[in-house]
Amino acid sequence: MRETRSAVHVSFDGVEYEGYAGESVLQCARRNGVTVPSLCFLEGLSVWGGCRICVVEIAEDHRLRPACATQIAADMEVKVETPRLRAYRKAILELLFAEGNHVCAVCVSNGKCELQDMAVLCGMDHVRYDYQSPLREIDASHPKYVFDPNRCILCTRCVRVCDEIEGAHVWDIGFRGEEAHLVTEMNKPWGESLSCTWCGKCVAVCPTGSLAYEGRAIGEMEHDPAMIQRLAVARNRGEWLYPGEEQ
Amino acid sequence: MSDTTTRAVVGVSDRQQGEHPSGDNRFDLIDKHLKRGRYAQDQLIETLHVAQDVFGYLSEDILIYVARALRLPPSMVYGVATFYQLFTFDPPGDHACTVCTGTACFVKGADDIVKGVSNAYDVPAGETSEDGSLTLKTARCLGSCGLAPVVVFDGEVLGHQNTESTLELVAAAVGGVD
């Protein structure tokens, strides 16, 4: 059963829309067809607010707010496209590209990658920072899936989906700073994990080619993050959506 | 899951005092802490501190023990433990030499002391020598800047040190360099 929600007036870049109390700025924008770039947010999972790609300006507030973690308020004036925001988003994307080893030409997700899409959407065409080129070992120990930390942007979608939807909590982030990386159980190879159910939801939600099916060639890996929204709606509302019916 | 026996896997009620099922009585001290905190999951960091106090470091076995006792996933316990720099995962040496590298000590040549001990005993700063006899650590200001440069050897704070005096100190406890 859907709750009745009180409607409020909000505006995105000067255009008036209707928002519901309790929903986030990002959800409100998406529902009204306003494009807000984002990476770590995924409908159906808890809010992480870590990637900061979805930052927006809110009138008379000099601080930037993550749209995914900011609630809609009455008469809110949200700015999504300003020169300042474009510059910040570009810089964040450049830092993400500089931090890992994102080589699209040899990636399983080339052409089907959310990080790539964001770079195109935000107009990031080159990286001004020094590439860190870290040495990171690929974990191909799992019989069905491959984890390539070189392509990981630590969005924690896999961590959240494994904990919140599957209930296994195989993944977590270990260590800190530039050494932070995904770990399975006690930092053991994924294939040796006793808690992994092989469900593949972590692979479905990965925004990059970091988690992929075994044996995929360049550009062959198609993820399905919307699956999680279907699962969440089924679980919370008892309504079974079909692919393409996600709101 | 209201059955209390499932919660008492690591409890002490069903066995004699002073005899832990693992055969290592140090786990009793962790158990006592866990019991006092009623096995609350948000006691994780405190429990890890107790475990490190008791064992000197956090081995994989200890992390798994704590994870099971608090009913937490192993990856979460591992993630928390590796995030905080106060937790260590290697057994400490028999003797610990900590050199303060805070501003005052640095100006007074703390770096030379670190280098001197590091070279003499072939142990990088922050690590333990191969034979396990000496752990060389650095600290960020111990708050005794008037005594700079400060060295803490096996818990004893010693001021106005230099490379020679520190090496003498270490040699007296650990033994000279071959």
Q: What confidence tens digit (pLDDT) does each residue in A77-96 have?
A: 999 999 999 999 999 999 99
pLDDT band at B8 (very low <50, low <70, confident <90, very high): very low
Q: Find the mean pLDDT for residues B148-157.
A: 93
Co-location of A52 and A99 in the same domain: no
Co-location of A70 and A110 in the same domain: no
CB contacts, 8 Å: A183 with chain B: 75, 78-79, 82
Co-location of A69 and A120 in the same domain: no
Predicted confidence (pLDDT) at residue B86 exceeds the cutoff of 90: no
Averaged pLDDT, groups of 10, chain A, 247 residues long: 76 96 95 96 96 94 94 94 96 97 96 96 96 96 97 98 96 94 96 96 97 95 94 93 87
For residue B75, with 0-12 CB atoms within 10 Å meaning exposed, 13-18 middle and 19 or more buried, which class applies? buried
Query: Rounded to whole angstroms, how far apart are CA atoms B31 and B86?
Result: 22
Q: Of A86-95, A123-132, B20-29, B63-72, which gets the smallest average pLDDT?
A: B20-29
Residue B60 lies in a domain: yes
Question: What residue spans of chain A are helical by DSSP H?
Answer: 25-31, 83-99, 114-121, 157-161, 201-205, 226-237
Co-location of A56 and A114 in the same domain: no
Predicted confidence (pLDDT) at residue B16 exceeds the cutoff of 80: no
Query: Rounded to whole angstroms, how far apart are CA atoms B156 and B43?
Result: 31
| Cβ pair A185:B79 closer than 8 A | no
Query: Rounded to whole angstroms, how far apart are CA atoms B98 and A98?
Result: 36
Q: Find the mean pLDDT for residues B62-79.
A: 97
| Cβ pair B75:A169 closer than 8 A | yes
CB contacts, 8 Å: A176 with chain B: 82-83, 85
Q: Find the mean pLDDT for residues B45-51.
A: 96
Which phi and psi angles does B94 have, rounded to 5°?
Answer: -65, -35
pLDDT at A119: 97
Query: Rounded to whole angstroms, how far apart are CA atoms A173 and A183?
Result: 6
Q: Find the mean pLDDT for residues B112-127.
A: 94
Cα angle: A52, vertex A57, A58; to 5 degrees: 125
Co-location of A61 and A93 in the same domain: no
Residue B122 lies in a domain: yes
pLDDT at B142: 87
Q: Which of these three, A50, A81, A112, is where a domain ends? A: A81
Co-location of A43 and A159 in the same domain: no
Nearest to A186 among B78, B83, B85 (CB): B78
- Two tokens at B177? 């360099």
Co-location of B62 and B14 in the same domain: yes
* Closest CA in chain B for residue A170: B75
Co-location of A23 and A98 in the same domain: no
Query: Rounded to whole angstroms, how far apart are CA atoms B26 and A70?
Result: 47
pLDDT at B75: 97
**Does the beta carbon of A167 lie under 8 angstroms from any beta carbon of chain B?**
no
Report the DSSP pairing between strands A171-174 and A76-79. unpaired
CB contacts, 8 Å: A156 with chain B: none
| Cβ pair A170:B60 closer than 8 A | no
Query: Rounded to whole angstroms, how far apart are CA atoms A211 and A147?
Result: 5
Close Cβ partners of A240 (under 8 Å, ≥ 6 residues apart): A230, A233, A234
pLDDT at B140: 84
Q: Tell how many helices (H) and how many strands (E) occur in chain A.
A: 6, 9
Determine contact, residues B122/B130, Cβ cutoff 8 Å.
yes
pLDDT band at B36 (very low <50, low <70, confident <90, very high): very high
**Does the beta carbon of B79 lie under 8 angstroms from any beta carbon of chain A?**
yes
Residue B19 lies in a domain: yes
End-to-end CA gap in chain B: 61
A106: domain CATH number is 3.30.70.20
pLDDT at B155: 87
pLDDT band at B15 (very low <50, low <70, confident <90, very high): low
Residue in A139, A159, A173 to test binding to B, most B beta-carbons within 10 Å:
A173
Give the domain extent around A26: 7-81
Which phi and psi angles does A20 have, rounded to 5°?
Answer: -105, 140
Co-location of B25 and B59 in the same domain: yes
Co-location of A208 and A133 in the same domain: yes
SS3 A11: strand
A52: domain CATH number is 3.10.20.740
Residue in B60, B64, B75 to test binding to A, most A beta-carbons within 10 Å:
B75
**Does the beta carbon of A164 lie under 8 angstroms from any beta carbon of chain B?**
no
Co-location of A119 and A168 in the same domain: yes
Q: Which of these three, B83, B117, B151, is where a domain ends? A: B83
B116: domain CATH number is 3.40.30.10
Q: Which of these three, A81, A103, A125, is where a domain ends? A: A81
Residue B89 lies in a domain: no
Q: Find the mean pLDDT for residues B162-173.
A: 94
Co-location of B76 and B124 in the same domain: no
- Two tokens at B6? 């499932």
Number of structural domains chain B divides into: 2
Residue A240 lies in a domain: no
pLDDT at B20: 80
Read off the DSSP letter of residue A24.
B
Strand partners for A17: A10
pLDDT at A31: 94
Number of structural domains chain A divides into: 2
Nearest to B74 among A173, A175, A185 (CB): A185
Co-location of A191 and A220 in the same domain: yes
Nearest to A186 among B74, B83, B85 (CB): B74
**Does the beta carbon of B119 lie under 8 angstroms from any beta carbon of chain A?**
no
Co-location of A91 and A58 in the same domain: no
pLDDT at B7: 45
Task: List the 185-204 stretch of A: residues with Cβ below 8 A of B.
Answer: 185-187, 195
- Residue of B15 and A148 predicted with greater confidence: A148
Co-location of B65 and B110 in the same domain: no
| Cβ pair A172:B78 closer than 8 A | yes
| Cβ pair A169:B76 closer than 8 A | yes
CB contacts, 8 Å: A175 with chain B: 82-83
**Does the beta carbon of A184 lie under 8 angstroms from any beta carbon of chain B?**
yes
pLDDT at B177: 66
Residue B50 lies in a domain: yes
* ipTM for this prediction: 0.89
Co-location of B46 and B20 in the same domain: yes
Give the domain extent around B17: 4-83
Q: What is the 3-state secondary structure (H, E, C) of chain B?
A: CCCHHHHCCCCCCCCCCCCCCCCCCHHHHHHHHHHHCCCCHHHHHHHHHHHHHHHCCCCHHHHHHHHHHCCCCHHHHHHHHHHCCCCCCCCCCCEEEEEECCHHHHHCCHHHHHHHHHHHHCCCCCCECCCCCEEEEEECCCCCHHHCCCEEECCEEECCCCHHHHHHHHHHHHCCCC
pLDDT at B6: 43
Co-location of B112 and B79 in the same domain: no
pLDDT band at B24 (very low <50, low <70, confident <90, very high): confident
Least Cα separation, residue B64 to chain A (angstroms): 8
Predicted confidence (pLDDT) at residue B45 exceeds the cutoff of 90: yes
Query: Rounded to whole angstroms, how far apart are CA atoms B40 and B89?
Result: 24
pLDDT at B85: 80
**Does the beta carbon of B40 lie under 8 angstroms from any beta carbon of chain A?**
no
Residue B53 lies in a domain: yes
Least Cα separation, residue A187 to chain B (angstroms): 7
Read off the DSSP letter of residue A136.
-
CB contacts, 8 Å: B86 with chain A: none
